[in-house]
Structure 1
Amino acid sequence: MHGGDLEGSEIQKLIVEKRLGASVKPGFGAIIHNKRSFGVCLFTALGGLLYGYNQGMFGQISGMSSFSKAAGVGRIQDNPTLQGLLTAILELGAWVGVLANGFVADKIGRRGAIVSGCFFFILGVIIQAVVNGGNYNYILGGRFVIGIGVGQMSATVPLYNAEVSSTEIRGAALAVFQLSITLGIMISYWFTYGTNFIGGTGENQSQAAWLVPMCIQALPAIIFAGFIYCFPESPRYLINIGQESKALENLAWLRETHKDDEILQLEFLEMKAQKIFEETLEKQAYPDLQDGSVSSQFKMNFYQYKSMVTHKPTFKRVSIACLTMVFQQWTGVNFILYYAPFIFASLGLSGNTTSLLASGVVGIVMFVATVPAVLWVDKLGRKPLLVSGAIVMGICHFVVAGILGSFEGKFAEHAGAGWVAVVFIWIFAAAFGYSWGPCAWVIISEVFPLGLRAKGVSIGASANWLCNFAVAMSTPDFVAKTKFGAYIFLGAMCVLGLLYIFFMVPETKNKTLDELDEVFGDFEGTSRKEAELHERILKEIGLLDLLNGDLASSDVKPEVETKENELVGSEVNSQ
């Protein structure tokens, strides 16, 4: 069999057959088989833990009398807009952090971006911890700075996990990020429930009741930043910056095999082919911006972001990433998480302690429900989980709306109705935990090509944070004015999300990040010239030799860069 006898689609089929023939079936066995790369993803999940803990912790301490005195939030209790801003300012910071991260993660690497995020997180904790004299601005400023760090980590951790994990565990590796968020929420709920009793729950409550849960979150951030460089940089990132030998070395370590392993070489060459393809197109499109200057790099970054809107296959990816995150946030999950104590109080649960306790159950339920998703997401696929989750969440919102509409102001006489609504909120938390929580992050980390992945994930994550800000900012006013109408609106958004996923989003299960290019039409839907270029790259870097079992060919070795340089140079010169 000779390279010239095959079309690009036939080459792609051979690649898929070769890879799937050696893969372990998705599930627990695949996780054990890939224990090293999965272990790396477990450590980086600390980024999700930090966000989840902060998310749950702040909702809990907001109702403490000691925090109200120290931070001066008591004077805004009757102002839903300012209450919303106090919560939502973190999301605004995260939006800034995640947009900047597309450039940062490409400039200083995935690990460097994680360290940067940890720095902002720790700085934000310090700013809030020194609040005194009821100065509300310390809390606002600190939460904004924490948000920058959270935003960076929310974009970088899923990106890094997607790039270091193999195809059969990629969904699980990304679901671990959401699992860690729910773990952080659960820990914060119950830890803060305990500290609530320091000095009593009344006017004499100790400042330690809120300071301890506030300050302790800096510890995992310090551990995360201190140990991330003990783990390898993303092989895909290293290929993108030309460090191919190091990329192959890291990939071999992650896959627990030797550099000459046939399947490892196949995975490496797929990455390399994608990089050469994108680099060649970039040099064709921007021949005047190849001098490496700061000005040229800035213009290149601008044009790359612009291409995400003007290039149809890429715009399709951007649309899917952004709309998936829009619908994730408008399921109302953060409305529940941020304002759980107040929601449960509105349903007739009397006393701050009782509402905090009910909120703690939300954390447990969401965490437990997310655990199976780590195993299911690669077996069942992303779409079935998203669709079923949207159905359950929509039903829960409509039921709670019906109960509120029927018994508002009467829960003292109809306590059972209030508890039924509470149970449906717990069911909502479980449905989100196994579906939209993990799967939305899986989707946005899978759909972008190598050269645009960091920027693409940052755009998708920015949509998440912008909607998160809108939810946190608007829901206090929304609920105050519409009561049960807010739940009807959120239920309707669940229905719209269901329809969008079912009809518009392709299934990404069991596809490599590079095979997804064909799903989005990057090789079949673009010009024939680009398709021919891709075929030529696959053949000339030695991938066909590898498929034929010719491992002795020097073309498959990363050290040989002559063909790559010739390919890029010849294509540019032909323009």
Structure 2
Amino acid sequence: MIKQYNKPYLFGITLVATLGGLLFGYDTAVISGAEKSIEAYLIRPLGLNSLIHGATVSSALIGCIIGGVLSGFFSNRLGRKKTLLFASVLFFLSALGSGYPETLFFTRGEPSIGLLLVFNLYRIIGGIGVGLASAVSPMYISEIAPADIRGRLVSFNQFAIILGMLVVYFVNWAIANGQSIEWINAIGWRYMFASEAIPAALFGILLLLVPETPRFLVLSDRNEQAMSVLNKIYSDKLKTQTIFSEIKQSVGQTTERAKLFSYGKIVIIIGILLSVFQQFVGINVALYYAPRIFESMGAAKDASMLQTIVMGFVNVVFTVVAILTVDKWGRKPLLITGSIGMAVGMFAISALAFNNIIGIGTLIFIIIYTASFMMSWGPICWVLISEIFPNRIRGQAVAVAVAFQWFANYLISSTYPAMMEFSSGMTYGFYGLMAVISALFVWKMVPETKGKSLEEMEKLWKKR
């Protein structure tokens, strides 16, 4: 039996692309260990309130929105590969700048509004990198991957996101372990942010070794290069020619990009709602504020960090479940199952909060909630966003969906402290309600994409 594709080559370039996901996870989760120190170092000395604290913790998300919006422009003009290279540079600059924001003033400096603004500026720069990588890394993988393993390969990107979060939980814990609160608030948080420079540099170097995607090359009228990449991916030359012909047919006679609504509004609306629901179920609240949530349950500082690491392991394990099942069970069953699990977890946490019950039960239901998300909406949302849009609008359509995702993320994360001050029970109940609505949305509106090529998905929207 002839091998359909060159697995070592395919998995190698996928691994490099998923480093964008790892940095996405690393950058968004590094704040979980540093946010209390930022509060102590920059927020409290200036007499600022919880809204400013929430906005500072979530400032990178402003950059994520910008990066999401710009991802379509950059991925269509520069290509998928060069856009990821640009993102790696932004990650590197943000890592060093967030750790040592005083360098912009060439002084050590005392806490001030100016220093707070510079810190937020560097976090926004990193956020732009996250926004670009979050859109383009899964897009890159989906445009490289064969249809029968595309779901699995794109899900590796979510695994990398969670792995990045788990790695930074360990890094934060290792930096803080055995140190005084005073040292962590003065120095430790700087090391937490600066540590990201190492994987950012590795990502940029390895990207120089991978090819551009064949679909972008065809869109750019570079057919010979596209064939060369396809020949490296597929072992069967007939298969290579068939896929190349399908790509050419979907692009059409012209290499110009189509307008956003060329295939109707429904596909764009589905992409946007997938993104919004992924955030409105409240997952990033659990990720960004994890140590503080565990401390509120009565855990000490070190214990809360360790419980966060435990939650990180749960995230990794259940993301692997999604990787192993997404191409067997399909996207819709996993999403609906995950929504039900998240609703159970959040409604239970809400009930415990209303009754002022804090203990191991809360931890168990947080794990049920996060496990349900990681086996479903975590990876599968990115899989669907990367594969439901037709070739000629994929860049701009993914950009719109991802921009909405980061806007929803910012809205949920920045309002969390104020919502918790009002009512913790109602806050978690709201996230549970969103999980129920997300299940109904998937059941009614989202098409199954398992086993379909990107070009076959395009035909589906043409029929509609």
Tell me if TM exceeds 0.5: yes
Residue number in structure 2 paired with 1:229: 208
Among 89, 92, 111, which residue is 1:119 paired with? 89
Counterpart code for 1:176: F
CA RMSD of aligned residues (A): 2.1
Q: 2:170 and 2:76 mapped to 1: Cα distance?
A: 38
Select 2:196's aligned residue among 217, 239, 249. Answer: 217
Find the aligned partners of 1:482 and 1:249 in 2 and give their Cα distance: 58
Assess if the C-alpha contact under 8 Å between 1:325 and 1:464 holds in 2: yes
Distance 2:314 2:420 in 1: 24
1:382-418, Cα deviation, whole Å (9 max, x unpaired) = 001100000000000000011111125xx4xxxxxx2
Provide the rounded CA distance (Å) in 2 between the counterparts of 1:393 and 1:68.
30
**2:86 partner amino acid:** S
Work out whether residues 361 and 426 of structure 1, in 8 Å CA contact, stay in contact via their aligned partners in 2. no
Q: Kindly provide the amino acid, as one letter, of the partner of residue 463 in structure 1.
A: F
C-alpha distance in 1, partners of 2:226/2:46?
Answer: 53
Q: How does 1:412-491 map to 2 (within 5 A)?
A: 418-491=359-432
Measure how far apart 1:479 and its partner are. 1.2
Partner of 1:139: 119
The answer as to whether partners of 1:390 and 1:495 remain within 8 angstroms in 2 is: yes
Among residues 43, 54, 58, which one is paired with 1:84 in the alignment? 54
One of 21, 28, 35 as aligned partner of 1:55: 28
Q: Does 1:188 align with 2:168?
A: yes
Contact 2:391 2:458 (C-alpha < 8 Å) held by counterparts: no
What amino acid maps onto 1:364 in structure 2? Answer: F
How many angstroms does 1:23 deviate by? 9.0
Q: Which amino acid aligns with 2:69?
A: L
Q: Hey, what's the Cα distance between the residues in 1 that align with 2:185 and 2:72?
A: 42
Are 2:155 and 1:175 aligned?
Answer: yes
Q: Map of 1:149-548 to 2, 5 A cutoff?
A: 149-197=129-177, 200-205=179-184, 207-255=186-234, 257=235, 261-276=237-252, 279=254, 304=258, 307-309=259-261, 311=262, 313-349=263-299, 351-407=300-356, 411=358, 418-520=359-461, 522=462, 524-525=463-464
Amino acid corresponding to residue 318 of structure 1 in structure 2: I
1: CA distance, partners of 2:335 / 2:385 = 14
Q: Following the alignment from structure 1 to structure 2, what is the Cα–Cα distance between the partners of residues 499 and 76?
A: 46
Please, which moves more after superposition, 40-49 or 124-133?
124-133
Unpaired stretches in structure 2, ≥5 consecutive residues = 102-108
Deviations 1:269-299 (A, max 9, x none): 000111125x38x6xxxxxxxxxxxxxxxxx
Normalization by structure 2: what TM-score?
0.93
TM-score of the pair, normalised by structure 1: 0.76
Cα distance in 1 between the residues matched to 2:26 and 2:387: 26
Q: Distance in 1 between matches of 2:129 and 2:63?
A: 8
8 Å CA contact 2:99–2:191 kept in 1: the answer is no
Query: Would the aligned equivalents of 1:195 and 1:208 in 2 still touch at CA under 8 Å?
Result: no
Structure with larger Rg: 1
Alignment match, 2:19? 46
Measured in 1, the distance between the counterparts of 2:140 and 2:272 equals 19
Instruction: State the distance in 1 between where 2:313 and 2:390 align.
Output: 36
Partner deviation per Cα, 1:176-220 (whole Å, 9 max, x = no partner): 11100100111111221121135x233344844222221121111
Q: Contact 1:197/1:209 (CA < 8 Å) preserved in 2?
A: no
Query: In structure 2, how many angstroms separate the alpha carbons of the residues matched to 1:23 and 1:314?
Result: 38
Query: Residues of 1 paired with 2:221 and 2:435: CA distance?
Result: 44
Give the 3-state SS of the residue equivalent to 2:58 in structure 1.
helix
Distance 1:324 1:22, change over 3 A: farther
CA 1:269–1:477: 2 relative to 1, 3 Å: same
The AA in structure 2 aligned to 1:360 is I
SS class of match (1:232): coil
Q: Tell me how many residue pairs correspond in the alignment.
A: 454
Cα contact 1:392–1:431 (8 A) shared by 2:
yes
Following superposition, the deviation at residue 343 of structure 1 comes to 1.5
The one-letter amino acid paired with 1:402 is A
